[in-house]
């Protein structure tokens, strides 16, 4: 039975052109990620995170340079919270690798665990301490502009695709 | 108004791209903004925005000091500078010292305010705007025409031309391709830049955090890739606590672009590591540039509650006709006029402030609850004080201020107009007066003013008296409206007094900044209208009602005439607009409608003062419904018809297209008649309908109701 607030998150995220995929467990999610990266048509860059580490992905020492991120077809990273009201993903992106993989490649694949879902902005602001996270990053859909004739165009300086992998439940 | 300025208005109006783009946007904006607020209480949110912004604005110095301490504790370097020259010198010196050759910028209105790019480029440093709209106008050597969408005035063809000329020949006017081109060209600039300059949407004193809101993702790159990050922040961006971020982040994207949240929000607190893993340099410039002076001004302090969403532009019926290059300088539209007067100088706002028609649409959507149109009026007043009133206006106000002269001139005009008047209209006027009748017919001045004809209506003796305040238009052009009001009140058993001493309500003088004249009118009217101790002072003109109810006191306050305020308040308590009073009498069972037949389809036009100051948009609609009319709402019923009192005489070129839109909206409903509560709107709309040969009858609500009441 899908979580009601996840459905809200999905609706809001899809409304701003994010692609949302939900999986019952780690194995299914990881299989999707591997296949997706394989088919992305170019190199992938990864930022470290507990899901990837626990599922045979890159560990905490994974290296990402600016040049690698700029040349990659897809960047993969994990998020700390999701906000149902706005379809937003939030992470502590103080580690620059988190920002490089999510800003420079044309596709950003973002992993979020089901137990990280919050109702909205207010509950997030109650939880985060900016003193402890120097760079908090909120992502709501892919990069967009309407600066020419108010025509919505996806993918300016950031990724043109935001692929969200939702893993039901919490950490195994 | 200079000839150049008039020319720039004409040029903007003649530009079909501009009007098409802005017109379509403003129509879509109202709908999409409402959708973005679905399930939320906008009034509650803006109360919170106002509270957190006003709290900080009242203690700017303390907030800046706390911000500095918190951000510096986290390794940032914070400087507090006052003038644009100091800010420019600081950033230039920093760039030179660090060997900076190229800079990427994300959108910063503060940097536009001080013309930072020009200063840096003059010293041989390359500066690249990276927000697409900002990059386009940088390449085109223009200023932003909108605070959120800087290049909204340009077509894709124009953008392609600019790219072809300034970057690489052969660009086609295909929007996705143009966007891709910008991504590719600017990508190497991001990767190579030595310094990134950003603004900030919010600065949190408690934590020293900067909040950056973007859609394109450029602020993330500007703040991540180059080895130095400079954030240029106007001190009005300060809020006290981290929790204060919530209402602003709730309102800003919804009001600015009708989004629930922008694609990206970054909260940066102190030093962050760059791509190599080493901490980057972070310099935060807190810029004052007159903001402290603004905070010390009791009237303008509230302007610091602005969160730069630009919704005041998006709903402005004048902005959507002329755009930001006419209506604004660096900052544009309603709030832009106020910011120009302060950050630049008062007299720089002289021409742009004159564009405001005082409809108040901006006040309704402002998430900071700023009374934008009132502040523009205050600018007007200060300009008149500083520069004096024009000679012609002075002469007119002298007449208006002398009741006897004014009234005898109007009577004389009734005779003088005879050669031009036909069927109650003046359709052509000779010579320089011709502009006034080019786009609408004017009402003929009545042969007998209401003050004469009203004597023919016998009054019941009653303990309940209402003094009728006619106002100039009803008195001298539309006495039949006044007669309808009197007869309706009589039906409820109310005795109507018509104080002879009543004179012009002073609105024309006040809206032209001539407060002394307005104060004179106020004093005369207070004395006249309170004579005979009426229970009600009723008016069928919303502008007059607002003048009597609110403006008298405000005019006295502005002029420091404290001794007069008591009288203004005594009058204010009794003042009520026609429809609100009649609705009350119907609810009390003192007035009843005839039973029976289905009446024609009617549409209703909201007059600005009735809806936005008196909040009385419902009573006339309910009355028309109860009277048996079928109400068919028009599109944009509450958008100004372009009358604006003397505005339509000063700026007929803007008044006319506003009227055209209104007439189109009315005709599209298929209604047989259009009702409204303001004789000024009747003058404009009836005159326009006559000029275009339209079939829709234009009437005051009082005239629509009279025969329906038993």
User: What tokens does A81 get?
Assistant: 């919270």
Average pLDDT for chain B: 94
Contact B25 A150 (CB under 8 A): yes
pLDDT of residue B432: 55
Q: Is some CB atom of chain A closer than 8 A to the CB atom of B446?
A: no
Among chain B residues, CA nearest to A90: B265
Contact B131, B106 (CB under 8 A): yes
Average pLDDT over residues B217-228: 97
Closest chain B residue to A92 measured between Cα atoms? B267
Q: Is the pLDDT of residue B41 over 50?
A: yes
Two structure tokens written together for B520: 């004179």
Q: For the segment B657-709, what is each residue's pLDDT rounded down to a tens digit? A: 999 999 999 999 999 999 999 999 999 999 999 999 999 999 999 999 999 99
The CA angle A84-A87-A92, to the nearest 5 degrees, is: 90
Does residue B433 surpass a pLDDT of 70?
Answer: no
Beta-bridge partners for A22: A166
pLDDT digits (tens, 9 = 90+) for A17-75: 999 999 999 999 999 999 999 999 999 999 999 999 999 999 999 999 999 999 999 99
Average pLDDT over residues B256-281: 96
A137, B196 Cβ separation under 8 angstroms: no
Q: What would the mean pLDDT of B431-437 be, rounded to a whole number? A: 63
Question: Taking 90 as the threshold, does the pLDDT of residue B442 lie above it?
Answer: no
Contact flag A138-B265 (C-beta cutoff 8 Å): yes
> Where is pLDDT greater, at B422 or A129?
A129
Compute the distance between CA of residue B35 and CA of residue A141 in angstroms, rounded to an integer: 18
Q: What is the token pair recorded at B115?
A: 């013309």
Query: What's the pLDDT score for residue A3?
Result: 54
Chain B residue nearest residue A134, CA to CA: B269
Q: Which of A16, A126, A156 sits opposite B216 (nearest CB)?
A: A156
Per DSSP, the residues of B76-122 read: -EEEEE-SHHHHHHHHHHHHHHTT--EEEE---HHHHHTTHHHHHHT
Q: What is the C-alpha to C-alpha distance for residues B511 and B504, in angstroms, rounded to an integer?
A: 13
Percent of chain A with pLDDT over 90: 94
Contact at CB, B263 and A144, closer than 8 angstroms: yes
- B431, pLDDT greater than 60: no
pLDDT > 80? residue B450 = yes
* Between residues B335 and B411, the one the model is more confident about: B335
**pLDDT at residue A2 greater than cutoff 70:** no
How much is the average pLDDT of B371-391?
89
**Interface-testing mutation among A12, A72, A134, with chain B (most B C-beta atoms within 10 A):** A134
Confidence band, pLDDT 50/70/90 cuts, at residue B434: low
Residues in B 528-567 with any Cβ partner in A closer than 8 A: none
Mean pLDDT of B503-517: 90
Residues 73-132 on B with a CB inside 8 Å of A are 74, 130-132
Sign of the torsion angle spanned by Cα atoms B412, B415, B419, B420:
positive
The token pair that represents B648 in the structure block: 């339509």
- Average pLDDT on B526-535 reads 96
Three-state secondary structure readout of B568-588: HHHHHHHEEEHHHHHHHHHHC
Question: What value does the mean pLDDT take over residues B426-450?
Answer: 76
pLDDT tier, B430 (very low <50, low <70, confident <90, very high otherwise): low
DSSP assignments along A139-151, one per residue? E-SS-EE-TTTT-
Whole-angstrom CA distances from B233 to B3, B300, B513 are: 37, 20, 34
Cβ–Cβ pairs < 8 A, chains A and B:
169
Chain B residues with CB under 8 Å of A155 CB are: 179-180, 183
- Is a pLDDT exceeding 50 seen at residue A1? no
Higher pLDDT residue, B23 or A90?
A90
Spell out which residues of chain B touch residue A131, defining contact as CB-CB under 8 Å: 74, 207, 269
HSE-CB at B552 with a 13 A cutoff on CA atoms is 28
Angle formed at CA B354 by CA B353 and CA B359, multiple of 5 degrees: 85
Task: Give SS3 for B680.
Answer: helix
Average pLDDT over residues A143-168: 95
Side-by-side strand order, sheet with B425-426: B421-422, B425-426, B442-443
* Least confident stretch, A1-10, B158-167, B223-232, B500-509: A1-10
- Residue with token string 């010579």: B431
Residue numbers in B near A157 (CB within 8 A): 130, 183, 186-187, 190, 216-218, 220-221
- In this prediction, residue B405 has a pLDDT band, given cuts at 50, 70 and 90, of confident
For the ranges B142-151, B202-211, B410-419, B579-588, which has the lowest average pLDDT?
B410-419
Grouping H, G, I as helix, E, B as strand and the rest as coil, residue B126 is strand
Give the whole-number percent of chain B exceeding pLDDT 90: 84
Chain A residues close to B262, C-beta within 8 Å: 140
What is the pLDDT at residue B420? 72
List, for residues B352-375, the tens digit of each pLDDT value.
999 999 999 999 999 999 999 999
Provide ipTM, 2 decimals: 0.97
Of B121, B132, B172, B158, whose CA–CA distance to B21 is shortest?
A: B158
Mean pLDDT of A108-129: 96
| Strands, E assignment, B524-621 | 536-539, 575-577, 601-604
| pLDDT above 80: residue A141 | yes
Which helix (H) or strand (E) segment is B63 a member of? helix B60-73
DSSP A28-89: HHHHHHHHHHHTTSS-EEE---HHHHHTTS--TT----HHHHHH-SEEEEE-SEEETTTTEE
Sheet of A44-46: strands edge to edge? A19-23, A161-167, A107-113, A74-78, A44-46
Residue B187 in contact with partner chain A when CB distance is under 8 A: yes
| Position A172 confidence tier, pLDDT thresholds 50, 70, 90 | low
Sheet holding B209-214, edge to edge: A117-118, A81-83, A88-92, A135-139, B264-269, B209-214, B202-204, B238-239
Residues in chain B with CB shorter than 8 Å from the CB of A122 are 246
Distances in whole angstroms, Cα of residue B252 to Cα of each of A142, B259, B308: 19, 9, 8
The answer, as to whether pTM is greater than 0.90, is yes
Task: List C-alpha distances in Å: A94 to A15, A47, A56, B271, B442.
Answer: 28, 12, 24, 9, 67
**Model confidence pLDDT, tens digit, residues B575-616:** 999 999 999 999 999 999 998 777 899 999 999 999 999 999
The reply to whether residue A103 touches residue B217, judged by beta carbons under 8 angstroms, is yes
Contact B136 A141 (CB under 8 A): no
| CA distance to partner chain A, nearest, from residue B209 (Å) | 7
């Amino acid at each position: 039975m899908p979580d009601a607030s996840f459905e809200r998150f999905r609706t809001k995220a899809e409304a701003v052109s994010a692609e949302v995929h939900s999986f019952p467990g780690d194995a299914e999610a990881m299989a999707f990620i591997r296949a997706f990266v394989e088919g992305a048509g170019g190199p992938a860059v990864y930022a470290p995170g507990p899901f990837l580490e626990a599922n045979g992905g890159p560990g905490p020492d994974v290296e990402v340079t600016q040049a690698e991120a700029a040349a990659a077809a897809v960047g993969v990273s994990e998020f700390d919270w999701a906000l149902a009201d706005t379809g937003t993903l939030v992470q502590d992106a103080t580690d620059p690798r988190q920002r490089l993989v999510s800003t420079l490649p044309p596709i950003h694949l973002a992993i979020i665990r089901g137990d990280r879902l919050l109702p909205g902005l207010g509950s997030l602001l109650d939880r985060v301490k900016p003193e402890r996270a120097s760079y908090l990053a909120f992502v709501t859909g892919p990069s967009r502009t309407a600066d020419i004739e108010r025509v919505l165009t996806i993918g300016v300086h950031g990724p043109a695709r935001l692929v969200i992998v939702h893993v039901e439940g919490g950490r195994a | 108004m200079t000839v150049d300025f008039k020319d720039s208005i004409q040029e903007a109006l003649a530009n079909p791209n501009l009007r098409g783009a802005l017109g379509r946007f403003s129509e879509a904006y109202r709908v999409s903004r409402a959708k973005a607020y679905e399930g939320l209480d906008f009034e509650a949110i803006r109360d919170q925005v106002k509270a957190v912004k006003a709290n900080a604005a009242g203690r700017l110095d303390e907030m800046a000091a706390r911000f500095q301490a918190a951000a510096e504790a986290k390794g940032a370097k914070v400087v507090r500078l006052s003038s644009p020259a100091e800010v420019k010198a600081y950033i230039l010196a920093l760039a030179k010292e660090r060997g900076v050759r190229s800079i990427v910028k994300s959108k910063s209105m503060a940097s536009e305010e001080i013309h930072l790019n020009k200063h840096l480029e003059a010293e041989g440093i390359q500066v690249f705007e990276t927000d697409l709209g900002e990059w386009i106008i940088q390449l085109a050597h223009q200023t932003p025409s909108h605070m959120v969408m800087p290049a909204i005035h340009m077509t894709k063809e124009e953008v392609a031309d600019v790219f072809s000329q300034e970057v690489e020949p052969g660009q086609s006017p295909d929007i996705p391709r143009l966007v891709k081109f910008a991504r590719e060209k600017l990508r190497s600039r991001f990767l190579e830049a030595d310094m990134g300059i950003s603004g900030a949407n919010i600065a949190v004193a408690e934590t020293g955090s900067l909040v950056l809101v973007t859609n394109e993702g450029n602020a993330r790159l500007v703040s991540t890739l180059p080895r130095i990050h400079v954030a240029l922040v106007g001190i009005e961006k300060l809020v006290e606590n981290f929790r204060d971020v919530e209402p602003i982040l709730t309102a800003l994207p919804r009001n600015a672009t009708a989004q629930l949240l922008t694609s990206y929000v970054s909260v940066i607190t102190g030093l962050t590591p760059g791509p190599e893993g080493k901490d980057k340099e972070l310099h935060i410039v807190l810029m004052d540039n007159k903001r402290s002076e603004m905070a010390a001004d009791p009237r303008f302090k509230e302007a610091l509650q602005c969160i730069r969403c630009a919704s005041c532009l998006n709903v402005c019926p004048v902005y959507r006709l002329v755009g930001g290059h006419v209506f604004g300088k660096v900052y544009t539209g309603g709030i832009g006029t106020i910011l120009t007067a302060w950050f630049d100088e008062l007299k720089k706002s002289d021409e742009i402030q004159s564009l405001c028609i005082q409809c108040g649409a901006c006040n309704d959507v402002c998430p900071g609850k700023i009374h934008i149109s009132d502040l523009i009026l205050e600018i007007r007043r200060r300009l008149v004080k500083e520069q004096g009133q024009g000679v012609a206006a002075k002469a007119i106000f002298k007449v208006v201020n002398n009741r006897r002269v004014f009234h005898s001139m109007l009577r004389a005009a009734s005779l003088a107009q005879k050669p031009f008047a036909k069927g109650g209209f003046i359709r052509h006027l000779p010579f320089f007066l011709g502009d006034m009748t080019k786009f609408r017919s004017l009402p003929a001045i009545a042969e007998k003013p209401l003050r004469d004809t009203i004597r023919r209506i016998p009054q019941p003796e009653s303990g309940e008296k209402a003094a009728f305040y006619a106002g100039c238009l009803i008195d001298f052009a539309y006495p039949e409206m006044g007669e309808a009001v009197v007869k309706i009140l009589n039906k409820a058993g109310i005795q109507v007094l018509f104080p002879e001493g009543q004179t012009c309500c002073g609105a024309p003088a006040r809206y032209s900044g001539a407060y002394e004249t307005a104060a004179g009118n106020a004093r005369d009217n207070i004395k006249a209208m309170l004579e005979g101790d009426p229970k009600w002072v009723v008016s069928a003109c919303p502008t007059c009602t607002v003048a009597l109810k609110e403006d008298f006191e405000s005019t006295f306050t502005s002029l420091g005439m404290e001794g007069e305020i008591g009288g203004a308040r005594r009058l204010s308590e009794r003042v009520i607009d026609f429809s609100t009073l009649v609705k009350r009498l119907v609810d009390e069972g003192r007035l009843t409608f005839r039973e029976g037949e289905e009446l024609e389809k009617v549409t209703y036009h909201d007059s600005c003062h009735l809806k936005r100051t008196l909040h009385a948009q419902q009573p006339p609609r309910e009355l028309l419904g109860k009277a048996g009319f079928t109400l068919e709402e028009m599109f944009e019923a509450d958008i100004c018809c372009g009358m604006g009192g003397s505005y339509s005489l000063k700026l007929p070129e803007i008044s006319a297209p506003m009227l055209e839109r209104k007439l189109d909206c009315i005709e599209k409903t298929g209604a047989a008649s259009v009702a409204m509560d303001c004789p000024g709107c009747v003058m404009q709309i009836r005159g326009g309908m006559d000029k275009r040969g339209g079939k829709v009858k234009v009437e005051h609500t009082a005239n629509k109701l009279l025969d329906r009441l038993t």
